[in-house]
Amino acid sequence: MALHSHPERRERAKRARPELLAALRQRCSATMGGVELEAVIARLQHNLYDIVEPLDVLYGERTDVIALVRRLLEVVADGLAERPERLRVLDRRREVDPVWFQRSRMIGYVAYTDRFAGDLAGVRKRLDYLAELGVTYLHLMPLLQARDGDNDGGYAVVDYRSVQRRLGTMADLQALADDLHERGMSLCIDLVLNHTAAEHPWARAAAAGDPALRDYYLVFDDRTEPDEYERTLPYIFPQTAPGNFTNVSGLGWVWTTFNAFQWDLNWANPDVFAAMLDTMLYLVNRGVDVLRLDAVPFMWKRRGTNCQNQPEAHLLLQALRGLVRVAAPGVLFKAEAIVAPEQLVQYLGAHERHRPQADLAYHNQLMVMLWSALAARDVRLASTALARMRPAPPGAGWVTYVRCHDDIGWAVSDADAAAVGWNGHSHRRFLADFYSGAHPGSFARGVKFQADERTADARTSGMTAALCGISAARQASDVAALEAGARRLLLLYSIIYSFGGIPLVYMGDELALGNDDDWAARVGSAQDNRWLHRPPMDWAAADRRSTPGTLEHRVFTELRRMGAARRSLLALRTGAPTWLKDTGNAHVLGYVRRHPRSGTFLALANFSDHSQHVSQELIARLGTHHLVPVAETAAEVGEQGVALPPWGYLWLTEP
Ligand code: OTU
């Protein structure tokens, strides 16, 4: 199925316009009037094509799509009616300044509420710490009410309208959002769209025999269809949750892409769509600015495929965004799609139709390529693969990151590897071995995650400090190795701060915290080693950020400097392309960003353990010659070019 616009559908959408606009007008006029009401109608006018057409493709065969849109607009109108005044003011501001989230002042921080500060009230007391680091965007890891016992770090939700009891209440979340807004910061939380917990009331009702709720999930009476699907489906957690279906007694075979206790929703059912839209509006009306939409590539299934990245998954996002925008135009969608490089940018709307979808998406390819270059001490693959990617559309942008709360999946495409004369499979293998420390001479202390016997692929868990060599150096009390590790960490962070996206600092990296060696005891099982890189915050280490000579001081201070420099550089705004440049040196990554008002920005990053030279010619050609003072281990810019110290980086801009 193509995403091409269908003339008949387009016509149907066009014909229904006046009726739909009138319906929303009528429904909203009970609670608002005047300019406010006209603004809402204008928003619907603006978004209507992104709503009606995709819904027609998705549900047109199953239901009267115009009636469905009317029903969804009622949900939107109700959401609008309860949207608090202060959030509407924020909406207004953001409509006036739609690039608000692309400004270079945006710097993200990601943490588990409990591990960072105990509970939501505790987070409110730590905002000065975040402000000191320059953070303006806080992503709190899953915090909605999850099932008891193993809940995949909160990704198995039983109630989308309440906060996990031990973290606080919805009122606490609202209070935190207010505090953040007062400081010009925004709040992001996770919303799991692909599945609910097996204990969610919908799932319980389905299991109890309610046919309407059974249709919320993908349930099969026997193995016939599951077996057919399995032929082309990968396993996400091959060691701990092999297979994609779970037999639930009295119900049947339930689609469970992830763990057995995470039941995939049936998005082909418009009731699921309506329920999730309602959930979204509920959450954004509590003050959430950004919804991180979990596992979106999996939302639509198609026989004979891997059931990821289906065109319908994109249409679902497009329609959901269109509807949410009518009620809450200041809210952003952040798509969590950790997929192959050629599939990524589509989640930002850059597919064949170029319609908006998510405003933000994870730049997984940059993350993988940074680690690849660091292990190989060679940037050719990174430079080639990144240059081959299509840029983000102008109104959207990447979030850039060095590592996240999940494992690192080695998304090196065979085609990219071949383009530099490497073998994709061996390179992926090398990376998994290198970062587990198994490869001879490796400085890394990560571990393998979910090695898949079927594909011989393994992923990697570990904190940035452990993967960069800091942990090994500390263990060996090796001063030179510690210096090397610190430089590697800062090198990677310098790139995500300057690549043209919102950089995300994952909690602990600003202090070079190592792996949580007690993770298994802490989570009560040794099943899921991703907990290795989800440690509790070490506030004693945080205190050392003010003590010169400590590693914490070194890393924290340099990240602050990067943030300050970033804020002053228009070229580092999110959006607009990043141009990869051949530096004439296989160890040095080079890229350029441009902004009409501030001219050209050039970054050079040395991935080798030796000093590297970049010729003056490249720099002169780019016309950039003003040094941005960020790195402690400064590069030398002379007549002959630039001398970059081992793992050194350099930012240059037009004066
Ligand atoms: C996400 O990850 C979350 O980030 C994980 O923490 C969850 O376990 C999971 O969903 C289930 O809710 O495959 O290995 O393309 O990469 O959704 C982790 C997206 C995952 C997937 C992603 C998923």
Cα within 13 Å of Cα(286), Cβ side: 24
- d(Cα 638, Cα 636) in Å, to the nearest integer? 6
Q: How many domains does the chain have?
A: 2
- d(Cα 474, Cα 466) in Å, to the nearest integer? 10
Please name the helix (run of DSSP H) or strand (run of DSSP E) that holds residue 606, with its range, or none.
strand 599-606
Question: Where does a domain end: 232, 247, 264?
Answer: 264
Catalytic one of 294, 312, 407, 433: 294
Q: Give residue-wise pLDDT tens across range 265-278.
A: 999 999 999 999 99
CB distance 426 to 434 below 8 Å? no
**Cβ neighbours of residue 259 under 8 Å, at least 6 residues apart?**
150, 152, 156, 237, 240, 241
Question: Where does a domain end: 230, 246, 264?
Answer: 264
| Residue at 625 is within a domain | yes
Question: Beta 599-606 vs 649-653: how paired, if at all?
Answer: antiparallel
Q: Give residue-wise pLDDT tens across range 309-318.
A: 999 999 999 9
Q: Which two tokens stand for residue 376?
A: 């190989």
Residue 610 has pLDDT above 60, yes or no: yes
Average pLDDT, stretch 212-236? 97
End-to-end CA distance of the chain: 50
Residue 1 has pLDDT above 50, yes or no: no
Average pLDDT, stretch 89-117? 97
**Pocket around ligand 1 at a 6 A CB cut-off:** 152-153, 155, 192, 236, 258, 294-295, 297, 336-339, 406
| Residue at 50 is within a domain | no
Question: Which residue minimizes the CA distance to atom 16 of ligand 1?
Answer: 338
- Strand ranges inside 172-265, DSSP E: 186-192, 195-197, 219-220, 245-248, 252-255, 262-264
Average pLDDT, stretch 495-507? 98
Select from 237, 294, 362, 368 the residue to mutate for testing ligand 1; criterion: most ligand atoms less than 8 Å from CB. 294
- d(Cα 57, Cα 44) in Å, to the nearest integer? 19
Question: Which residue minimizes the CA distance to atom 6 of ligand 1?
Answer: 406
Q: Give residue-wise pLDDT tens across range 569-601.
A: 999 999 889 999 999 999 999 999 999 888 899
Question: Where does a domain end: 204, 233, 264?
Answer: 264
In this prediction, residue 384 carries a pLDDT of 98
Average pLDDT, stretch 497-503? 98
CB distance 268 to 162 below 8 Å? no
Using the atom order of ligand 1, give the atom closest to the CA of residue 236. Answer: 13
Select from 194, 236, 310, 529 the residue to mutate for testing ligand 1; criterion: most ligand atoms less than 8 Å from CB. 236
Residue 3 has pLDDT above 80, yes or no: no
Q: CA triplet 501, 278, 2: central angle to 5 degrees? A: 60
Residue 26 has pLDDT above 80, yes or no: yes
Q: Secondary structure of 240-309 in the HEC alphabet?
A: CECCCEEEECCCEEEECCCCCCEEEECCCCHHHHHHHHHHHHHHHCCCCCEEEEECHHHCCCCCCCCCCC
- d(Cα 228, Cα 593) in Å, to the nearest integer? 48
Q: Give residue-wise pLDDT tens across range 83-96.
A: 999 999 999 999 99
The closest of 360, 361, 280 to 320, measured between CA atoms, is 280
CB distance 563 to 504 below 8 Å? no
Select from 406, 530, 534 the residue to mutate for testing ligand 1; criterion: most ligand atoms less than 8 Å from CB. 406
In this prediction, residue 449 carries a pLDDT of 95
| Residue at 623 is within a domain | yes
| Residue at 414 is within a domain | no
| Residue at 184 is within a domain | no
**Cβ neighbours of residue 547 under 8 Å, at least 6 residues apart?**
553
Residue 233 has pLDDT above 60, yes or no: yes
The per-residue pLDDT of the chain, averaged, comes to 95
| Residue at 520 is within a domain | no
Residue 2 has pLDDT above 60, yes or no: no
Among this protein's residues, is 336 annotated catalytic? yes
| Residue at 236 is within a domain | yes
Name the residue range of residue 643's domain. 575-653
Kindly indicate the confidence band of residue 4, based on its pLDDT and cuts at 50, 70 and 90. Answer: low
**Cβ neighbours of residue 238 under 8 Å, at least 6 residues apart?**
450, 451, 452, 453, 454
Residue 623 has pLDDT above 80, yes or no: no
CB distance 398 to 360 below 8 Å? yes
Average pLDDT, stretch 255-264? 98
| Residue at 339 is within a domain | no
Three-class SS state of 47: helix
Using the atom order of ligand 1, give the atom closest to the CA of residue 156. Answer: 12
CATH of the domain at 256: 3.90.400.10
Tell how far the Cα of 447 is from the centroid of ligand 1, in angstroms: 18
